[in-house]
């Protein structure tokens, strides 16, 4: 054991957190919003809503809070026993709140099952939550359990790669970064060769906003056994290094209680997104399946136009017209013979707007460029188009250069920025939570749909709701993927889907096609065309 590990550690006091609970199953959304959102959703609750659900379950089941904690402990202990034999030593760190109460109950259950358990309860302030205190009393005289209550000084136990550390220090009630002795303890946990399992959430990680958190004071778990549902922070890329494998633990919170909560952040459920997809009319013809217009391409960027056009056609639109510089004509006619071409007067850029009254949906941006002549054409398109619209890529960069034009964008237009394009519109974003918050603010203020692209793309709606997409993978981090999404969305709008429906269905299909391409090819070699090639199978899967 190193001198550092043997060093005495003193602890500063922290507020005792409350435990926040989630429900793992889909439940009806009782709100009939103007967006007509999917009927079944996975809800991501706020801290206040979690407390309400906890209270509702206790009052209406009824069940005591201690018995509810016992359910959580039994689920966690059962999972641990399924992964490790009785030859494993568990080192349990319990905090003073309900997360610590969970950890103490888990200690007791593991000890009773024949495991070697060494438990430390950190009671620095002398104040324990009621349920934590109850569980402390239940294990104090338990034969075979090594139990230490820490009030000031602490020696970190010697551990090796065969041991498992159970992190039950702080849960989702934490509202400020860990500091002092707790921060030091987290560093020791992270430096240990033992496997680390966090109860509900890694200690130090706040369940929503970690913008001003201290990364060195957050436990890096190998496994997170989250109670009921993932927390919002779990969907942000910068937090993945803390989570390890995430597995929800069902403790049977009230479905009725959750159904009554109007939640502003949800996750698209795979089974329910199928309900958005409309059956194709057997008597349909190309005129009834929508006519889309794609305004795209400058010198050297014809590939973006081809990708968006192919994706649009593969997404079932009846007709597609591409307005592009004259120099793109030959490559487009060879690569996308199904598309109709509209020639811009310029050889190298889009320079003039055309009438859009014959088109059901308009998309602008892929490979467009930001020349001032193109910018003026974009503004004319935005002002005059009477129908649905998607703005992506350079269309967004132009708007970032001309923020005074943003109020001219028609309501319910879909914007599809990647993080850098979003910053051009809303300013610098410090992390994923900040991006979500600023995109949401833009959506509400301008009554637009903003799809923040990335792992777990987030759809921000005009009513302030955020819908998280669960499909997609790292293989899609390749040039042209966003152009494919633009094509999919444009086709769906032209076919008659609402902007809200198109955002959910299109984003899900885009990620699903990427997942199919990954299964075929692996992540390392994927290109954007592979996503287009997988679109037919993605549509088929949704119909199964």
d(CA 276, CA 268): 11
Residue 455 is labelled as binding a ligand: yes
Q: Is 453 part of any known ligand binding site?
A: yes
73 labelled binding-site residue: no
Question: How many CB atoms neighbour CB 137 within 10 A?
Answer: 9
142: number of CA atoms within 13 Å, CB side?
Answer: 27
**Longest pairwise C-alpha distance within the chain:** 87
What span, in angstroms and rounded, lies between the C-alpha atoms of 371 and 398? 9
402 annotated binding-site participant: no
Q: Is 101 annotated as a binding residue?
A: yes
Using a CB cutoff of 8 Å and minimum separation of 24, what contacts does 531-538 make?
531/311, 531/476, 531/481, 531/484, 532/307, 532/310, 532/311, 532/314, 532/484, 532/487, 535/311, 535/314, 535/315, 535/488, 535/509, 536/314, 537/513, 538/509, 538/512, 538/513
Cα separation, 75 vs 253, in Å, equals: 13
β-strand partners of 93: 120, 167
Q: Was 173 annotated as part of a binding site?
A: yes
Q: Do 63 and 57 touch, CB atoms closer than 8 A?
A: yes
Strands (E), 488-535: none
Q: Positive or negative CA dihedral for 425, 430, 436, 442?
A: negative
Question: Is 200 assigned a ligand-binding role in the annotation?
Answer: yes
Decide: 323 and 350 in contact? Cβ < 8 Å.
yes
- 174 annotated as belonging to a binding site for a ligand: yes
Q: Residue 119 has which token pair?
A: 């438990």
Asked if 530 contacts 536 with a C-beta cutoff of 8 angstroms, the reply is no
**197 CB-near residues (< 8 Å, 6+ apart):** 80, 164, 165, 166, 167, 221, 222, 223, 224, 225
- Whether the CB-CB separation of 460 and 449 falls below 8 Å is answered with yes
**Residue 304 among known ligand-binding residues:** yes
Is residue 431 a known part of a binding site? Answer: no
User: Is 443 known as a binding-site position?
Assistant: no
CB atoms within 10 A of CB 28: 12
Across the beta sheet with 388-391, the strand order is: 27-28, 40-44, 265-268, 466-468, 458-460, 449-452, 414-415, 388-391, 361-364, 291-295, 319-324, 340-343
454 marked as binding residue: yes
- Alpha helices (H) in 161-291, listed in sequence order: 180-191, 240-243, 255-259, 270-273
Is 8 assigned a ligand-binding role in the annotation?
A: no
Structure tokens at 173: 């009630």
d(CA 350, CA 369): 8
Say if residue 190 carries a ligand binding annotation.
Answer: no
Check whether 26 is labelled as a binding-site residue: no
The alpha carbon dihedral of 236, 239, 245, 250 has a sign of: negative
Residue 99 among known ligand-binding residues: yes
User: Torsions phi, psi of 246, nearest 5?
Assistant: -115, 125
Which residues neighbour 111 within 8 Å (Cβ) at sequence distance 6 or greater? 117, 139, 142, 144, 145
Residue 177 in marked binding region? yes
Q: Is 120 annotated as a binding residue?
A: no
Torsion of CA 471, 474, 480, 481, to 10 degrees: 0
102 is in an annotated binding site: yes
Binding residues for K(+): 99, 167, 203
Q: Which residues line the annotated binding site?
A: 98-102, 167, 171-177, 182, 200, 203, 304, 367, 418, 453-457, 482-483
> Residues annotated as binding site for AMP?
453-457, 482
Binding site members for (6S)-NADPHX: 98-102, 171-177, 182, 200, 304, 367, 418, 483
């Amino acid at each position: 054991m190193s001198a550092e590990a043997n060093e005495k550690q003193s602890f500063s006091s922290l507020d005792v957190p409350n435990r926040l609970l989630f429900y793992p199953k889909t439940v009806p959304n009782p709100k009939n919003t103007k967006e007509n959102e999917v009927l079944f959703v996975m809800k991501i609750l706020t801290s206040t809503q979690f407390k309400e659900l906890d209270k509702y379950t206790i009052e209406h089941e009824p069940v005591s809070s201690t018995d509810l904690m016992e359910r959580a402990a039994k689920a966690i202990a059962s999972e641990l026993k399924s992964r490790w034999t009785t030859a494993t030593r568990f080192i349990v760190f319990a905090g003073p709140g309900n997360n610590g109460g969970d950890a103490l109950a888990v200690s007791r259950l593991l000890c009773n099952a024949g495991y070697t358990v060494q438990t430390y309860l950190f009671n620095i302030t002398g104040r324990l939550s009621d349920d934590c205190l109850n569980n402390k009393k239940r294990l104090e005289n338990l034969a075979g359990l090594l139990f230490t209550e820490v009030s000031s000084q602490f020696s970190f136990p010697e551990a090796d790669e065969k041991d498992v550390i159970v992190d039950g220090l702080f849960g989702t009630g934490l509202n400020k970064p860990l500091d002092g002795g707790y921060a030091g303890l987290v560093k020791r946990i992270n430096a240990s060769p033992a496997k680390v399992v966090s109860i509900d959430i890694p200690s130090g990680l706040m369940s929503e906003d970690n913008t001003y958190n201290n990364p060195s004071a957050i436990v890096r778990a190998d496994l997170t056994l989250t109670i009921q549902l993932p927390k919002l922070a779990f969907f942000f890329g910068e937090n993945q290094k803390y989570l390890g494998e995430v597995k929800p633990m069902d403790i049977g919170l009230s479905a009725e209680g959750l159904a009554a909560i109007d939640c502003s952040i949800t996750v698209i459920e795979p089974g329910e997104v199928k309900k958005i997809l409309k059956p194709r009319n057997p008597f349909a013809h190309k005129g009834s399946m929508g006519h889309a217009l794609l305004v795209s391409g400058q010198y050297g960027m014809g590939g973006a136009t081809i990708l968006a056009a192919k994706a649009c056609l593969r997404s079932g639109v009846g007709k597609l017209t591409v307005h592009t510089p004259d120099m793109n004509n030959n490559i487009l006619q060879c690569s996308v013979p199904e598309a109709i071409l509209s020639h811009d007067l310029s050889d190298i850029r889009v320079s003039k707007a055309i009438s859009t009254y014959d088109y059901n949906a308009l998309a602008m941006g892929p490979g467009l460029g930001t020349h001032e002549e193109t910018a003026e054409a974009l503004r004319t398109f935005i002002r005059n188009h009477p129908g649905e619209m998607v703005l992506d890529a350079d269309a967004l960069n132009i708007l970032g250069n001309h923020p005074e034009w943003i109020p001219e964008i028609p309501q319910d237009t879909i914007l599809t920025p990647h993080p850098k394009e979003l910053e051009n519109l809303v300013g610098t974003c410090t992390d994923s939570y900040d991006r979500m918050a600023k995109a949401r603010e833009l959506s509400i203020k301008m009554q637009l749909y903003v799809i923040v692209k990335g792992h777990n793309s987030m759809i921000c709606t005009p009513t302030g709701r955020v819908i998280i997409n669960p499909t997609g993978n790292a293989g899609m981090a390749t040039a042209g993927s966003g152009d494919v999404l633009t094509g999919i969305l444009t086709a769906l709008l032209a076919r008659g889907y609402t902007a809200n429906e198109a955002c959910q269905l299109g984003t899900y299909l885009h990620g699903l096609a990427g997942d199919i391409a990954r299964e075929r090819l692996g992540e390392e070699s994927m290109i954007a065309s592979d996503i287009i090639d997988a679109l037919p199978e993605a549509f088929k899967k949704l119909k199964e």
